[in-house]
Amino acid sequence: MPLLTIAGLPGPPLDVPAGRTVLAAIHAAGHDWWHACGAKGRCTTCRVRVLAGAEFLTPLTAPELRYQAAGRLQEAERLACQCGVKS
């Protein structure tokens, strides 16, 4: 199972089952992570900056592409509610 390390979160790296979103993995580990739209990809409050391992994440979703085009999501950023881990 892939491991996810998030700077600023206490504890060991998080286990992330394939197909689960990064946000779901953070919440399953008992951490609180802001997501104003209820994890529907309608805002950018859950954004994360990917420092390494982007190739192990699912492709950008339509909401992420829309926010990138509008300049609200940088190239190395993803929405935690939208990006998942590949199997």
Q: How many CA atoms lie within 13 A of 72 on its CB side?
A: 14
Domain residue extents for the chain: 3-79
Domain spanning 3-79, CATH class:
alpha beta
Query: What is the pTM assigned to this prediction?
Result: 0.90
- The model's pLDDT over 2-61, given as tens digits with 9 standing for 90+, comes to 788 888 888 889 888 888 899 999 999 999 999 999 999 999 999 999 998 899 899 999
Q: How many CA atoms lie within 13 A of 55 on its CB side?
A: 0
Which residues, listed in sequence order, are joined to residue 57 by a DSSP beta bridge?
A: 85
83 close to 46: Cβ distance less than 8 angstroms = no
